[in-house]
Structure 1
Amino acid sequence: MYYVNPNIKNLYRTSYKESRKNFIRLDMNENPEGLPSHFFEEVMRDITPEYVAMYPEMTKLVGKLADYLECEVSNICLTNGSDDAIRLLFEVFGEPGKKIVSASPSFEMYSVYMKMHGMVHSPVTFNEKFEVRVENIINNIDHDTSIVVLLNPNSPIGKSWLEHEVRSIIDKAKENNAVVVIDEAYYYFSPSTFIRLMSEYDNVMVFRTFSKMLSIAGCRIGYIISNENIINEIKKASSTYPVNCFAIRFAEKILEKPKIIDDLIVKERQGREYLLSQLEKHNYKYHYNQGNYVLIKTNQTPQQIFAKLKEKNILIKTYNTPILSNWIRVTTGSLKIMSLFWENFKEIDF
C-alpha cells in the first residue's frame, strides 16, 4: 500500500458541493454583486491572448502594493488567496507537536492546516456574550507555542483588537519564540490595522485579501506583509507563480483607481445600515462586529430559515458550533441586496 501522510489521511474535510451560481450568495462573505460592470469591462479589455499566454509577472503589482501600504517591496509576498497565506504560515513556521493559540470559533482553515501539520490547537473560547479575555490568550502562550493567530476582527464573532492588547500578545509570543499572525481579511470594513507593528517586531506578519471588500474572490489573490527576513523564508515555500494573470490585472487596476474602493465601501455601508436598522426596528437580537456579516438570532431554527431562504434562491450561513447553533450569519451587501434579503426574510420569520 502506498504511503499517505497520516495527518492528511485522518483529516475530515467538508465542502459545499452544490452550485451557488444562480443564488444570491450571502453565505461566504463575498460581495454579492461584485465589481461595477463598467470597471470589470475596462479590466477585461486588457486581457489579450498574449497576456494570458505569458507566465504571470508580479513585480509591478508588488510595487503598487508597496506604495499603497507605504512599505517596501521586500515586505510583501503575494499569495493565492488567504488560504495560501495560511498554508505558507504552517509550512514555514508550524512545528509538529507544538501549539497554535487562537480565539475560537474562528476561520476554519487555520484548524485544517494545523491538523495537516500535526500541531495542537490550544483555543481560547468566546463566552456567551461573544467576548474573549486577552489575559486568557496571553496565559495560553508558553514555550510549547509555535504560532499565535489573531483575526482583526475575528470571524464570525469577536470585536477588533486594541493596540495594547495586540502588543501584549506579541511580547508574550516573542518571549516564547512564537510568530504572530494578524489576519486583516475584513480590514476595509473595520479600518484599524496593525501593519506598522511588522517593522517594530521580528515575529509579526499581517494577512490581507482582495476577496472581501475588493470583490475578486474568484481570482484568488491575497498577500502577506512582514519584515524582510520572514518574507524571505515564506517565499522559499511559495510556488513560482502563486497568483494568476487575471488576478494580477484586476488587483493592479483596483489599486490604480482608489475611487472604486471608496464606492464599494459606501455601497456596503448603506446596505448594512439598512439591515441593522430593520433588525433594531423589529426587536431582533443580532451581533455585528465590523465585518461584512451580521449574526441574527431568528424565531425559527437556523436550519428552517436556511431551507426556506434557499427555496427563494438566497443562501445564508448556519453553524454546528454550540455557541452559534441558534444564529444565522448573513453577508452584508448593497442596499438593493439587503432590501431583497429583508423582504424575503420577514416573510418566513415574522
Structure 2
Amino acid sequence: MYFVNPNVKSLYRTSYQESRKDYIRLDMNENPEGLPLSFFNKVMSGISPELLSMYPEKMDLINKISESVNFKSDNIVLTNGSDDAIRLVFEVFGEPGKKVISVSPTFEMYSVYTKMYGLSYCPIEYDQDFKLDIKTLIDSIDEKTSIVILLNPNSPIGEPWKEDDIRKIIKRASENGALVVIDEAYHFFYDITFVTMVSEYQNVIVFRTFSKLLSIAGLRIGYAVSNSEIAHVLSNASSTYPVNAIALRFAEELMEHPNIIEELKMTEQEGRRFLLSKLRENQYDHYYNSGNYILVKSKKDPKVIFEELKKRGILIKTYSHPILSEWIRITTGSIYTLDRFWNEFKNVDTTSTDC
C-alpha cells in the first residue's frame, strides 16, 4: 500500500464549490470591479506568443519591488500568492510538534498549514468586543513555539497592531528561537507598515500580495521580504518558476504605474465611506479595522441574508465562529457596487418574513 502523509489525509478543508463569476463578489476581499479596463487592455496587448513560450523571468519584478520597499533584491522572494508564502514558511521553519501562535478569528489557511506540517495551532481568542489581551499572547510564546503569526490589519477583526506591541512580540519570539510572520495583505488600505523591522530583527518575515487592492487575485502572485539568509532558504524550497509570465507582466506594469494604484485606492475609499455613512444613518452596528472589508450586524440571521442576496446576484461572507455568528462581512469597492449592495441588503434585511 502506498504511503499517505497522515497530516494531509486527516486534514479538513472547505471551499466554495459553485461558480462565482456571474455574481457581485463581496465575500473574499477581492476588488469587486478589477483593474481599469484601459490598463488591462494595455498590458494584455504586450502578451505575445513568444512571451508565453518562454519560462518566466522574475528579476525585473524583484528589482522593482526591491526599490519600492527599500530592500535589496536578495531580501525578496516571489511567491504564487500569499498561500504559497505561508506554505514555504511552514515547510522551511515549522518544527513538527511545536506551537504556532496566532489570533482567532483570522485567515484560516494558517491553521490549515499548521496541521498539515504537524505543528500545534494555539490561537489567542478575541473577546466579544473584538479586543485582544496582548499580554496573554506574549506570555504564550515560549521555548515550544516555532512560528508567531500577526496579520496587520487582521481579517476580519482586531485593531491594527501597535508598534510597541509588535516589538515586544518579536523580541519574545527571538528569545525563544521563534520566527514572526507579519502578513500585510491589506497594507494598501492602511498607512502603517512594519516592513522596516526586517532590517532590525533577524526573525521577521513580511508578506505582501497583489490579490487585494492590486486586483490580480486570479493570477496568484505575492512576495515575502526578510533578511537575506531567510530569503535564501525560502527560495531554496520554492519551485523553479513559482509565478507565471502573465502574472509577472501585470505586476511589473502595476509597479511602473503608481497612478493606477492611486486610482484603485481612491475608488475603494470612496465606496467604503459611502457604505459606512449608510450604516451610520440607518443605525447598524458595524465594525471597520482598516482593511477592505466591513462587518455588519444584520437584523436577520446572516445565513438568511446570504441566501437572499445570493438570489439577487451578490455574494457576502458569513461566519460560524461564535463571536461572529451574528455578523456579515462585506468587501468594499466602488460607490456603484456598494450602492447596489446597499439597496438589495436594505430590502432583504428590513422586509418582514411573517406569513
Tell me which interval the TM-score lies in, with the shorter structure as reference length: over 0.9
Q: CA deviation at 1:251?
A: 0.3
Q: How far, CA to CA, are the matches of 1:93 and 1:192 in structure 2? A: 27
Number of aligned positions between the proteins: 350
Q: Equivalent residue for 2:61?
A: 61
Q: CA deviation at 1:136?
A: 1.2
Q: Equivalent residue for 1:126?
A: 126
Q: How far, CA to CA, are the matches of 2:76 and 2:25 in structure 1? A: 31
Q: How far, CA to CA, are the matches of 2:283 and 2:163 in structure 1? A: 34
Q: Equivalent residue for 1:52?
A: 52
Q: Equivalent residue for 1:201?
A: 201
Q: Equivalent residue for 1:91?
A: 91
Q: Report the AA paired with residue 207 of structure 1.
A: F
Q: How far, CA to CA, are the matches of 1:137 and 1:56 in structure 2? A: 41
1:160-199 alignment to 2 at 5 Å?
Answer: 160-199=160-199
1:137-183 Cα distance to aligned partner (Å, 9 max, x none)? 10010000000000001111111101110000000000000000000
Q: How far, CA to CA, are the matches of 1:154 and 1:131 in structure 2? A: 12
Give the TM-score of the pair, scaled to structure 2. 0.98
Q: Are residues 1:82 and 2:87 paired?
A: no
Q: Equivalent residue for 2:353?
A: none
Q: Are residues 1:27 and 2:27 paired?
A: yes
Q: Aligned with 1:200: secondary structure?
A: coil
Q: How far, CA to CA, are the matches of 1:62 and 1:56 in structure 2? A: 12
Q: Equivalent residue for 2:148?
A: 148
1:177-232 Cα distance to aligned partner (Å, 9 max, x none)? 00000000000011210010000100001000000000000010000000001001
Q: How far, CA to CA, are the matches of 1:150 and 1:349 in structure 2? A: 34
Q: Report the AA paired with residue 296 of structure 1.
A: V
Q: CA deviation at 1:121?
A: 1.0
What percent identity do the matched residue pairs reach?
57
Q: Report the AA paired with residue 18 of structure 1.
A: E
Q: Report the AA paired with residue 267 of structure 2.
A: K
Q: Report the AA paired with residue 140 of structure 2.
A: N
Q: Are residues 1:245 and 2:245 paired?
A: yes
Q: How far, CA to CA, are the matches of 1:236 and 1:213 in structure 2? A: 29
Which contiguous aligned blocks of 4+ residues in structure 1 show a shift greater than 3 angstroms?
none
Q: How far, CA to CA, are the matches of 1:141 and 1:236 in structure 2? A: 28
Q: Report the AA paired with residue 5 of structure 1.
A: N
Q: How far, CA to CA, are the matches of 1:171 and 1:48 in structure 2? A: 49
Q: How far, CA to CA, are the matches of 2:260 and 2:28 in structure 1? A: 22
Q: Are residues 1:262 and 2:268 paired?
A: no
Q: How far, CA to CA, are the matches of 1:312 and 1:343 in structure 2? A: 11
Give the TM-score of the pair, scaled to structure 1. 0.99
Q: How far, CA to CA, are the matches of 1:276 and 1:205 in structure 2? A: 33
Q: Aligned with 1:180: secondary structure?
A: strand
Q: Aligned with 1:122: secondary structure?
A: strand
1:291-310 alignment to 2 at 5 Å?
Answer: 291-310=291-310
Q: Aligned with 1:96: secondary structure?
A: coil
Q: CA deviation at 1:123?
A: 1.0
Q: How far, CA to CA, are the matches of 1:191 and 1:222 in structure 2? A: 19
Q: CA deviation at 1:71?
A: 1.1
1:231-260 Cα distance to aligned partner (Å, 9 max, x none)? 011011000000000110000000000000
1:102-122 Cα distance to aligned partner (Å, 9 max, x none)? 111100000000000010011
Q: CA deviation at 1:312?
A: 0.3
Q: How far, CA to CA, are the matches of 1:158 and 1:26 in structure 2? A: 20
Q: CA deviation at 1:68?
A: 1.1
Q: Report the AA paired with residue 170 of structure 2.
A: I
Q: CA deviation at 1:75?
A: 0.7
Q: CA deviation at 1:3?
A: 1.0
Q: Report the AA paired with residue 289 of structure 1.
A: N
Q: Report the AA paired with residue 196 of structure 1.
A: T
Q: How far, CA to CA, are the matches of 2:299 and 2:321 in structure 1? A: 19
Q: How far, CA to CA, are the matches of 2:348 and 2:37 in structure 1? A: 33
Q: Equivalent residue for 2:6?
A: 6
Q: How far, CA to CA, are the matches of 2:325 and 2:349 in structure 1? A: 17
Q: Report the AA paired with residue 20 of structure 1.
A: R
Q: Aligned with 1:181: secondary structure?
A: strand
Unmatched runs of 5 consecutive residues or more in structure 2: 351-355
Q: How far, CA to CA, are the matches of 1:70 and 1:249 in structure 2? A: 21
